[in-house]
Amino acid sequence: MEAITFRLAEIELAGLANFSLSAPIKNNKSVLLFLHGWQDNAATFSTLWQRLDADFNLVAIDLPGHGLSQSRSEDNYYHFFDYIDDLHQVILQLPVKSVCLVGHSLGAIISSCYSAAYPEHVEQLILIEGLAPVVEEPALAVQRLKQGLKSRQQYRKQRGRRKARVMVSFDEALQLRANVNGLPTACLVPVVERATVEHDGKWYWRHDHRLRCDSLYRMTLSQAQAIMSSIEVPIYSIVGSHGFPILRDNPQQKYGIKQFSQVVVAGGHHCHLEQPDVVSDCIQGFISPQRD
């Protein structure tokens, strides 16, 4: 995988690909576009790429404020729907008309919503530990708005006096991340390498602190159902046996999904890091028949 850059209307996104963006793709292999989860980065899929590289055209991005990508402007925050706009701008720069989206967590939700809006650009959806937009009861709308605004106020108050967290070594950063995710450090080396920067022998996190600000609004269940039920492409859900239980609670019926299949693999929310052989085999098995 080689480093690439996507120049969007407002910012630049860092990415990785095993093909050139500036020339037509001459093989008949599917293009897999990977979208990571909240406070992760493109490298979360690196162990999958090692197993998929020979059979697919692969491309991944760091979402704004994550990894090596630029942060949003100082007068902006991280609205969920803006990620869908970012994805659309990325896809329009690829040398193909349609892709297979592979999303984890937040990346899976972005992928689902994008597929509903732009079905002509998506062939299949592979969603790892993520599916539909996060929903809330309409009665909580005012509480959600107030909570979101309060989180922004807290960020602004702390911004002037906040000091970046200093870590004395890469190993310290790696261990901190492993503790948060409940994973062995060996699973997270590529992710933490892309998530940190070293200055004068000390290590710092790259991500934008505004990512932690709460959302100002969330969809209702009926809105999420309207989105998910309109998706025309096949959806393949890969979930961890110890991941989010709600993802295994009959989502096809809950959201009225048309073409849906699901597999449960051993592991938790980052099951693709815990079981890269199994997950890559699942991806291979789902996409290949679709192309035949």
Q: Which CATH number do you get for residue 110? A: 3.40.50.1820
Domain-embedded: residue 243: yes
Least confident piece of the model among 26-30, 67-71, 253-257: 26-30
- For residue 79, give the 3-state DSSP assignment: coil
The token duo for 177 is: 């991340």
Residues 6+ apart with CB under 8 A from 159: 209
| 5/8 Cα distance (integer angstroms) | 9
Q: How confident is the model over 142-166, as a mean pLDDT? A: 87
The token duo for 16 is: 């990785």
| 108/269 Cα distance (integer angstroms) | 12
| 173/190 Cα distance (integer angstroms) | 12
**Domain that includes residue 83, residue range:** 2-144+220-291
**Nearest Cα residue to 11 out of 72, 88, 80:** 72
**Nearest Cα residue to 8 out of 59, 73, 67:** 73
pLDDT band at 282 (very low <50, low <70, confident <90, very high): very high
pLDDT at residue 292 in the model: 46
DSSP string, 102-116: EEETHHHHHHHHHHH
pLDDT at residue 88 in the model: 98
Check: CB of residue 114 under 8 Å from CB of residue 232.
no
Question: How many CB atoms within 10 Å of residue 19?
Answer: 22
Domain-embedded: residue 92: yes
- Per-residue pLDDT of 176-199, as tens digits, reads 999 999 999 999 999 999 999 999
pLDDT band at 288 (very low <50, low <70, confident <90, very high): confident
Give percent above pLDDT 70 in the chain. 97
Burial pattern 167-205, b for ≥16 Cβ within 10 A else e, equals beeeeebbeebbeebebeeebbebbbebbbeeeeeebeb
Whether pTM exceeds 0.75: yes
* Cα 221-226-231 angle, rounded to 5 deg: 125
Domain-embedded: residue 84: yes
Domain-embedded: residue 138: yes
Give percent above pLDDT 90 in the chain. 92
pLDDT at residue 163 in the model: 66
Domain-embedded: residue 187: no
The token duo for 186 is: 């060996």
- Per-residue pLDDT of 89-117, as tens digits, reads 999 999 999 999 999 999 999 999 999 99
Number of domain units in the chain: 1
- Per-residue pLDDT of 210-244, as tens digits, reads 999 999 999 999 999 999 999 999 999 999 999 99
| 121/88 Cα distance (integer angstroms) | 9
Mean pLDDT (the chain) is 95
